[in-house]
Amino acid sequence: MIVDYLGVAHELKEALNFYSQSGGKGDLTLDQQVAIGLLLTKLEVVEDIMAGFNYQPYFTASTGNKLNILKAAANYVADPQIKDRFLDAVTALSKIYALTAHHPEAIAQSEKISFFQAIQASLRKLEPTDGSLSNADIETAIRQVVDLALVSDTVINIFDEAGIKSPDFSIISDEFLEEVEGMEHQNLAVELLKKLLRDEIKAQRRTNIVQSRQLTEMLEDSLRRYQNQVISVTDAIHELINISKDVQAAKQRGEELKLEPYELAFYDALAQNQSAREVMGQDQLRELAIILVARVRQNASIDWNLKESVRARMKVMVKRLLRQYGYPPDMQALAIELVLEQAKVFTEFEVETNR
């Protein structure tokens, strides 16, 4: 049975068609040579993508220099004009290599293949999980490296070598951002900042809808212009650093307003339109946000967002509060929907924490 390996399934089925049709009595040597031919073809594709980077010194370098070359290679591949093609090509190469790994010709190419896999694994660590490559897949690929000195977490966590240990957005400081801005490998700096910001946005989505949407728009706009080469890698780094600072400033804003995270989230939902800010002012919007959190908490139930009657009751409550506090009538409809959306997120949090 031919396994449907991503990127090589169709070619494998055609290449091994003779063996399948002969009821398993074909020439295995010939069939293996066909598979090896496909392996070398896929390898050539990856080598062509890497043609602009001299990675040959890697194979004779010391362990320390190998890591430096690996970082430089990952930085080269992280270029938005190269990255996706490289990742797809190495995935296809790895699938066919898994079928031919014990063949002498495959063994002869194993060190080069594992080098490409190590680059792929390093970049995959900075990508959101999409199910295309599991941690087990990465571990398997890395353990195929011939040089045993590199079969370790070091080769996967390439940013350790850049002096960044387990980056966490919650501990980002101005000093950290200056360190990232000064990184030698700027394409990798973009990848790192992209990962940190996306992780932060994902976390904020469970707390503050307005803020997470604003951050998403800013981030995706910068990345889109970077990938389309409208802005340089240096400009992209500066923009992502500024977005990072905006995130930190948003957290400080909650402290300045003396609002808890969910109170700030309702405040942001109410203050979305300028007329509400002008008519009510900061203090009144702040008070309304605090009251909304208290009322929503009192009415929270596991399925309030599923039962239409409960949602309708919540909507009436929000509408009365907006009128009571003088929220601009022309903006109430949009505000109510946004507040209800924020209330849904808040009640889910309340239900989880009170179980």
pLDDT at 248: 79
Q: Exposed e or buried b for every residue in 267-301, given b needs 16+ CB within 10 A?
A: bbbbbebeebeeebeeebbbebbbebbebbeeebe
For the chain, the maximum distance between any two Cα atoms, rounded to a whole number of angstroms, is: 84
**Residue of 8, 70, 78, 10 whose CA lies nearest to 42:** 8
Please determine, for residue 2, whether its predicted confidence score (pLDDT) is greater than 50.
no
pLDDT at 113: 92
Mapped onto helix, strand or coil, the DSSP state of residue 79 is: coil
Give me the DSSP letters along 92-150: HHHHHHHHHTTSHHHHHTHHHHHHHHHHHHHHHTTSPP-SSS-HHHHHHHHTT-S-GGG
Please determine, for residue 45, whether its predicted confidence score (pLDDT) is greater than 50.
yes
pLDDT at 30: 46
pLDDT confidence tier of residue 165, bands split at 50, 70 and 90:
very low
pLDDT confidence tier of residue 140, bands split at 50, 70 and 90:
very low
Whole-number average pLDDT of the chain = 76
The pLDDT tens digits for 174-206 are 676 777 777 778 888 888 888 888 888 888 888
Q: Write the burial class of residue 37 (CB in 10 Å: 0-12 exposed, 13-18 middle, 19+ buried).
A: middle
- Segment 29-47 shows an average pLDDT of 83
Q: Which of 62-71, 113-122, 140-149 has the lowest mean pLDDT?
A: 140-149
Give 103 or 19, the one with higher predicted confidence. 103
pLDDT at 308: 73
d(CA 287, CA 290): 5
pLDDT at 305: 52
d(CA 332, CA 340): 12
pLDDT at 355: 58
- Segment 10-20 shows an average pLDDT of 49
d(CA 5, CA 132): 12
Q: Where are the domains of the chain?
A: 9-160, 169-256, 261-353
pLDDT confidence tier of residue 135, bands split at 50, 70 and 90:
very low
- Segment 59-85 shows an average pLDDT of 88
Helix (H) or strand (E) holding 266: helix 261-270
Please determine, for residue 149, whether its predicted confidence score (pLDDT) is greater than 80.
no
- Segment 13-19 shows an average pLDDT of 49
Please determine, for residue 314, whether its predicted confidence score (pLDDT) is greater than 90.
no
pLDDT at 181: 72
pLDDT at 43: 93
Q: What sign has the CA pseudo-torsion 231, 232, 235, 241?
A: positive
- Segment 290-296 shows an average pLDDT of 89
pLDDT at 241: 85
pLDDT at 12: 52
Give me the DSSP letters along 22-54: TTT-S-HHHHHHHHHHHHHHHHHHHHHHTTTS-
Give 323 or 10, the one with higher predicted confidence. 323
